[in-house]
Every structure is written in C-alpha cells, then in structure tokens.
C-alpha cells in the first residue's frame, strides 16, 4: 500500500507562512495540547466543580468564570480537525482503522497509543506546550527553551525508538 503525500519541503514552506500569518494577526503562534487540557478541565468542572476550582492548575483555565473552552487554542484545534478532515476527504484517505506496523496486534497498539497519549499529555503540560505550541512556535521566535525542548523531543524519541520497533516496522 503506497500513499502519495505532498512534498515535505513545500508543506514546510506553507506551514511556515501559516505560522507567520498567525504571528502577524494574533501576535502568537500555533498550538494544540492546551486545548485538550481545557477540554479535560471542562469535563472535571462538570463532574466536580468544587474540586476543579480548588486545584491550582485547573483553576488557571477557569479564571473569570468563563468556560475553559472559550479559548483561542480550542478554536484552532477545532479548525485543525476540519482542515484535516477536508484534506483526507479530497484524497480518499478517510478509513476506519487502527494504524500500526504489520507485526503488532490491534489491542497492543491501542494500549500503546493510550500510554503514549498519557505521557504526551503530561509532558506537554510540564513543558508548557507541545510540538506545535512550544517547539515550532518558540523556535520560530528563537526562544532558547523551545530549541532545547525540541532537541529533547528528538533525543527522547531516538533513545527509546528501539523498544517500539515491533510497533511500527
């Protein structure tokens, strides 16, 4: 099964221009991980509002009594979902599946996806952003910590890639 995707350099240039557009209009870059923290906060706030307000971290998203979902990044992520859907639709790439290498089962892959998600969600909060909000955005501004963060992502991944080879190869 061969898939033809766009040339990565061309995509890189376009993504750079989108990021520049975001800086020019809003004075800030892209991001997405915080929107999941916000959605999770909204969930906790719905179930246990007292608990959410008492928590030092959740409460930063609940300031001013506004819904944690009325945030710039949440709308950006919604837009990204629609944009991705549109792109997948026009090239017939919408297909219900569990993406994985040929030598791994569905349930193991799903557990690993869950574990990877938990680690990533935790790490993105710790580092104040993810690959887009911290690494991409910050590196474009030449922020020192963002460059270090980006190098650490690659370091962490390359260091452990051997243990997950059965998942992908």
Confirm or reject binding of residue 104 to other proteins (CB under 8 A): no
136/76 Cα distance (integer angstroms): 15
CB distance 135 to 153 below 8 Å: yes
Confirm or reject binding of residue 49 to other proteins (CB under 8 A): no
To the nearest 10°, report the CA torsion of 74, 79, 80, 85: 130
Smallest gap from Cβ 11 to other proteins, in A, equals 4
CB distance 30 to 133 below 8 Å: yes
Confirm or reject binding of residue 115 to other proteins (CB under 8 A): yes
Longest dimension (CA), the chain: 52
Confirm or reject binding of residue 108 to other proteins (CB under 8 A): no
Smallest gap from Cβ 140 to other proteins, in A, equals 4
Site for other proteins in 61-100 (CB under 8 A): 70, 72-73, 75-88, 93-100
Smallest gap from Cβ 92 to other proteins, in A, equals 10
Site for other proteins in 5-24 (CB under 8 A): 5-9, 11-24
Residues near 108 by Cβ (< 8 Å), separated by ≥ 6? 167
132/138 Cα distance (integer angstroms): 9
> According to CB under 8 A, which one of 101, 103, 105, 166 is a site residue for other proteins?
101
The tokens for 166 are 């059965």
Confirm or reject binding of residue 50 to other proteins (CB under 8 A): no
Site for other proteins in 126-155 (CB under 8 A): 126-155
């Amino acid at each position: 099964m061969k898939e033809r995707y766009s040339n990565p350099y061309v995509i890189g240039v376009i993504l750079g221009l989108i990021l520049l557009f975001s800086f020019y209009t809003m004075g800030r870059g892209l991001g997405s991980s915080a929107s999941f923290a916000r959605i999770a906060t909204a969930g906790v706030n719905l179930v246990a509002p007292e608990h959410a307000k008492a928590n030092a971290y959740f409460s930063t998203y609940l300031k001013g009594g506004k819904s944690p979902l009325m945030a710039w990044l949440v709308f950006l992520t919604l837009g990204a979902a629609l944009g991705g859907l549109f792109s997948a639709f026009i090239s017939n790439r919408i297909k219900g599946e569990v993406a994985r290498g040929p030598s791994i089962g569905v349930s193991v892959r799903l557990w690993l996806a869950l574990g990877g998600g938990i680690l990533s969600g935790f790490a993105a909060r710790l580092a104040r952003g993810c690959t887009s909000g911290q690494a991409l955005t910050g590196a474009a501004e030449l922020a020192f910590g963002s460059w270090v963060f980006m190098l650490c992502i690659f370091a962490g991944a390359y260091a452990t890639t051997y243990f997950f080879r059965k998942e992908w190869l």
